[in-house]
Amino acid sequence: MALIFFNRRLSIKLNLFLKSTFLTAIFAFLITLSYSSENHPLGIFNAVHTIALFLVIAFFATSYVFTPFIAKIGLKRRIDRKIEGILAKEAAKLGVPSPELYLFEDSNKSAFVVSALSKTVFISTGLVESFNRKELRIVLMHELLHLKSGFFNLKRFFYSIRAGFFGLLPIRLEELDTIEEMRLDSELMKEGMDIMKIRGKL
């Protein structure tokens, strides 16, 4: 959902900035209300904003704890020590703790990362079978850079605010993913890696 002012479509970055500012302001408002209402009798308004704040915090906490386990539901795991070794080596280069590798059986080519209580990189067997060692290394570096950036905690925070209002806030945050992917692609290309070729094979 792009924001448009005076018939002008805003840039992706400005669009995200305005949405992020709005959501952060809502969270700050809820915090302020929770402190200011301590000396006032409970009413419907106080109950509503207290419930909303509780849901924001609860969603963030449960997402942080349970997402790695939920992501593994229905996936059949394989073990590949060579890929685990590549992942550990690239993590050491980037100065981040080596995450768990979860290689799962799927003919589709896919890779994603879960950053929560435990950090896990998920890769499908279809991707491993279609990519050579150099290409696989680029994919792993891309996922590790996600972990290094701290992007997921920011994303989790904003989505938690939406969840606190039962998803009724008419704000989508697709720009978060777009900007993050563009930034990581740029970083990999600076290292001489052909990330566009990788994307073309997915």
- In this structure, of 67-76, 126-135, 139-148, 163-172, the range with the lowest mean pLDDT score is 163-172
pLDDT bracket for residue 98 (50, 70, 90)? very high
Q: Which residue has the higher pLDDT, 139 or 28?
A: 139
Question: 10-19, 79-88, 107-116, 149-158: lowest mean pLDDT where?
Answer: 10-19
Can you list the alpha helix ranges (DSSP code H) found in the chain?
12-36, 44-71, 81-94, 125-130, 133-149, 151-164, 174-190, 195-201
For residue 30, the model assigns a pLDDT of: 81
What is the structure's pLDDT at 87?
A: 96
Domain-by-domain residue ranges, the chain? 11-201
Q: In what order do the strands lie in the sheet with 100-104?
A: 77-78, 100-104, 119-124, 111-115
Mean per-residue pLDDT, 166-177: 74
**Residues in contact with 13: Cβ distance below 8 Å, sequence separation at least 6, in sequence order:** 175, 179
Q: What is the pLDDT of residue 175?
A: 79
- Say what the pLDDT of residue 131 is: 92
Q: Give the separation between CA 153 and CA 51, rounded to whole angstroms.
A: 22
39 in helix, strand or coil?
coil
In this model, does residue 173 exceed pLDDT 80?
Answer: no
pLDDT at 121: 95
Model pLDDT for residues 30-56, shown as the tens digit of each residue? 877 777 665 555 566 666 777 788 888
Predicted pLDDT of residue 101: 96
Kindly state the tokens that stand for 132.
Answer: 């050579």
Per mean pLDDT, which range of 27-36, 95-104, 114-123 is the poorest?
A: 27-36
Number of Cβ within a 10 Å radius of residue 91: 20
Name the percent of the chain lying above pLDDT 70.
87
Residue 192, phi-psi category: left (phi > 0), alpha (psi -120 to 50), beta (remainder): left
Winning range, highest mean pLDDT, from 19-23, 144-148, 187-191? 144-148
11-201: CATH topology is: Zincin-like (3.30.2010)
Mean pLDDT of 47-67: 84
Each as own residue / partner, the long-range contacts of residues 64-73 (CB below 8 Å, 24 or more positions apart, any chain) are: 64/116, 64/117, 64/156, 65/116, 65/117, 66/116, 67/114, 67/116, 68/114, 68/116, 68/117, 68/118, 68/120, 71/114, 71/120, 71/122, 72/102, 72/120
